[in-house]
C-alpha cells in the first residue's frame, strides 16, 4: 500500500474529529494482512497526533480542561487520573512527555542524594 492511499484511508477514517468505527470496519475487510498492519500503525500514529493526554492526581475540572483546550486548540484532550503524581500534572502529546509534579521533584532529590553518596 502506498503512502498516498494510506493517507486517504486515514482521512476517511475520521468523522467530526473522531474515529468512525463503521468506516474502519469496512476498510479493514478489504485489506490483506500486511496492509492491515500498515493501516493499524498509521491509525495509532494519527491517534497520537490527535490526542493529548493530561494526567492529574484528581479527576478533571472544567477550568483546567478549558485552559488545556486553549493550549492545544485542535486536539482531543483526554484526562487520566494518576494519584502517584501527588501534586502536579503530566502531559503526553505524540512522543513527548512533559511532567511537573511533586513526585518528579522527590525523585530528583532521591537521585541527587544517591549519586552523591554512591
Partner 1 sequence: MIDSQDIIKQLEKKLSSTSFDAKTEHVGTVEANNDGVITASGLSKVTMGEMVVFDKGDRGFVLNLSEDSVSIILLSTKSDIKEGDTVKALGEILSIEVDEGLLGRVINPIGAPLDGKPGIKKGKRMPLERIAAGVVERSPVDTPLKTGIKAIDTMIPIGRGQRELIIGDRGLGKTAIALDAIINQRVTTKGQKPVICIYVAIGQKQSSVSQVVDRLKQEKSIDNTIVVVAGASDPASLQYLAPFAGTSIAEYFMEKGEDVLIVYDDLTKHAWSYRQLSLVLKRPAGREAYPGDIFYLHSRLLERSVRLNKEHGGGSITSLPIIETQASDISAYIPTNVISITDGQIYLQSDLFNLGIRPAINPGNSVSRVGGAAQTKAIKAVAGKLRLELAQYNALAAFAQFGSELDEATTKQLERGKRSVEILKQPQYSPLTEAYEIISIWAVTNGYLDDIPVEEVGRFEKELHEHVTIHSKKLLEKLNTGDKMDDETLSTLKKSVEDFKKGADFTK
**Interface with partner 1 by CB under 8 A: which residues?**
41, 44-45, 48, 94-100, 104-105, 108-109, 112-113, 116, 118
CA 46 – CA 89 distance, rounded (Å): 24
Task: Supply the minimum distance, in Å, between the C-beta of residue 61 and partner 1.
Answer: 21
Task: Supply the minimum distance, in Å, between the C-beta of residue 99 and partner 1.
Answer: 4
User: Which residue, 15 or 47, is less far from partner 1 as judged by CB?
Assistant: 47
Contact status, residue 18 vs residue 51, Cβ threshold 8 Å: no
CA 55 – CA 87 distance, rounded (Å): 11
C-alpha cell at 24: 474502519
User: Which residue, 74 or 115, is less far from partner 1 as judged by CB?
Assistant: 115
Amino acid at each position: 500500500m502506498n503512502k498516498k492511499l494510506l493517507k486517504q484511508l486515514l482521512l476517511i477514517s475520521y468523522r467530526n474529529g473522531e474515529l468512525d468505527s463503521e468506516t474502519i470496519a469496512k476498510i479493514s475487510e478489504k485489506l490483506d494482512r500486511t496492509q492491515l498492519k500498515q493501516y493499524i500503525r498509521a491509525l495509532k500514529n494519527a491517534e497520537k497526533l490527535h490526542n493529548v493526554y493530561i494526567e492529574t492526581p484528581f479527576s478533571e475540572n472544567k477550568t483546567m480542561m478549558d485552559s488545556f483546550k486553549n493550549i492545544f486548540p485542535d486536539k482531543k484532550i483526554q484526562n487520566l487520573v494518576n494519584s502517584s503524581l501527588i501534586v502536579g500534572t503530566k502531559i503526553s502529546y505524540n512522543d513527548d512527555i512533559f511532567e511537573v509534579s511533586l513526585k518528579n521533584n522527590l525523585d530528583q532529590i532521591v537521585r541527587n542524594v544517591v549519586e552523591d553518596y554512591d
